[in-house]
């Protein structure tokens, strides 16, 4: 069903030769009970015999080519998987060439040269987001009941996933947790990056109010600007604190239902959470949501409107901020926060 040329075994989407290769061993030991990396491809390919029985699937997208301030979320998918205890089917990683983001920015000749080098000349996408578009459209087309969680990577990955999702599912709403709006049309002339995905996805919706953002607190413009310019709905962190997470959830449910939304796509940027609980990320922000506030909102909304697919992005396990020294133990604190979101999804999908 999938093209294995542009996918690879879990954790291997970050290309390494010698340096950092050891980071992959512990995950391979956990998943396939071997420390021999040369055998991992076989184990992973063989695991696809069980794909038909899978209910929850994870795809790793270790690309941070779309990040703009501090990179490092390319290691998110590997390090998060090391800590996931529940069972799931691992689709593997997108094979990332770290210098490429989207094939739309390549010349014809560059594309041909890259296909020659990487796929023996086969006509396949080479940039992370173009590969991701291909994989997710195949996934959503053929698997209406399986649930998909994509682990980023920076937030640019949400655009191709949402595009694929929206073209295969109807009556969809988008639920987006983030400290930032990600609503720029382009940044430095680039329309596919961490700061622009939400703008382009909102524009694909027949009714913009099907897109709700929660946790915003760092923006050049205020809420009124975005709500009138784009037409979506925002609940800034301050409102969550004032009204309480239960009330925010209630408002979201009412709005989605009034617009006929029957299923949700969740995009969760870890920086929605306060930096005391999530500082191992590219743009940590203070005065944010507490993990439990996110979980209250997610639990209440998903009981009324199911989440079908999701991404969790911007976890950068080896990024460290001196100002957080002594306040938290990183990356464990951020990984715990991320894990609480993943565990919520698994519980929701198995209930």
Whichever of 103 and 269 has its CB closer to Mn ion, that residue is: 269
* Minimum separation from the CB atom of position 240 to Mn ion (A): 17
* Minimum separation from the CB atom of position 177 to Mn ion (A): 9
| Rounded CA separation 307/18 (Å) | 40
* Minimum separation from the CB atom of position 48 to Mn ion (A): 32
Whichever of 68 and 244 has its CB closer to Mn ion, that residue is: 68
CA 75 to chain CA mean position, Å: 13
* Minimum separation from the CB atom of position 272 to Mn ion (A): 8
Structure-token pair, residue 74: 């390319």
* Minimum separation from the CB atom of position 290 to Mn ion (A): 19
Whichever of 90 and 271 has its CB closer to Mn ion, that residue is: 271
* Minimum separation from the CB atom of position 90 to Mn ion (A): 25
CB 89 within 8 A of CB 57: yes
Whichever of 311 and 330 has its CB closer to Mn ion, that residue is: 311
CB 197 within 8 A of CB 156: yes
| Rounded CA separation 225/219 (Å) | 10
Whichever of 115 and 191 has its CB closer to Mn ion, that residue is: 191
C-alpha distances in Å from residue 280, one per residue of 26, 218, 250, 332, 338 = 21, 17, 31, 9, 11
* Binding residues vs Mn ion (CB under 5 A): 155, 178, 182, 269
Structure-token pair, residue 94: 């997108």
Whichever of 90 and 311 has its CB closer to Mn ion, that residue is: 311
CB 283 within 8 A of CB 337: no
* Minimum separation from the CB atom of position 186 to Mn ion (A): 16
Whichever of 165 and 177 has its CB closer to Mn ion, that residue is: 177
* Minimum separation from the CB atom of position 287 to Mn ion (A): 17
| Rounded CA separation 154/3 (Å) | 23
| Rounded CA separation 167/148 (Å) | 15
C-alpha distances in Å from residue 153, one per residue of 133, 157, 197, 234, 344 = 14, 7, 13, 24, 20
Nearest partner of 127 among 150, 148, 156, 165, judged by Cα: 156
Whichever of 11 and 72 has its CB closer to Mn ion, that residue is: 72
| Rounded CA separation 70/282 (Å) | 5
Triad 342, 164, 296: Cα angle to 5°: 30
């Amino acid at each position: 069903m999938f093209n294995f040329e542009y996918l690879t075994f879990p954790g291997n989407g970050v290309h390494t030769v010698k340096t950092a290769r050891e980071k992959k061993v512990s995950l391979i030991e956990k998943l396939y009970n071997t420390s021999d990396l040369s055998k991992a491809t076989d184990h992973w390919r063989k695991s696809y015999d069980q794909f038909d029985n899978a209910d929850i699937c994870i795809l790793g997208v270790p690309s941070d080519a779309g990040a703009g301030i501090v990179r490092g979320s390319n290691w998110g998918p590997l390090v998060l998987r090391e800590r996931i205890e529940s069972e799931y089917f691992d689709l593997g990683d997108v094979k990332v060439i770290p210098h490429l983001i989207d094939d739309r920015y390549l010349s014809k000749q560059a594309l041909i040269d890259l296909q020659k080098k990487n796929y023996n000349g086969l006509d396949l996408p080479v940039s992370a987001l173009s590969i991701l578009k291909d994989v997710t459209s195949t996934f959503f087309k053929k698997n209406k009941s399986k649930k998909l969680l994509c682990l980023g990577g920076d937030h640019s990955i949400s655009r191709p996933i949402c595009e694929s999702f929206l073209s295969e599912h109807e009556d969809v709403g988008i639920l987006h947790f983030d400290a930032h709006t990600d609503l720029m049309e382009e940044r430095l002339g680039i329309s596919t990056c961490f700061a622009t995905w939400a703008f382009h996805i909102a524009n694909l919706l027949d009714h913009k109010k099907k897109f709700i953002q929660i946790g915003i607190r760092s923006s050049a413009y205020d809420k009124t600007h975005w709500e009138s310019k784009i037409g979506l709905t925002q609940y800034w962190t301050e409102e969550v604190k004032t009204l309480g997470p239960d009330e925010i959830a209630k408002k979201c449910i009412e709005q989605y239902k009034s617009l006929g939304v029957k299923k949700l796509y969740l995009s969760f940027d870890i920086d929605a959470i306060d930096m005391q609980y999530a500082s191992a990320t590219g743009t940590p922000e203070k005065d944010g949501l507490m993990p439990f506030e996110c979980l209250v909102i997610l639990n209440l909304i998903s009981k009324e409107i199911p989440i079908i697919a999701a991404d969790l992005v911007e976890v950068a396990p080896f990024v460290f901020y001196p100002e957080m020294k002594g306040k938290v133990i990183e990356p464990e604190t951020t990984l715990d926060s991320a894990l609480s979101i993943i565990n919520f999804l698994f519980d929701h999908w198995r209930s």
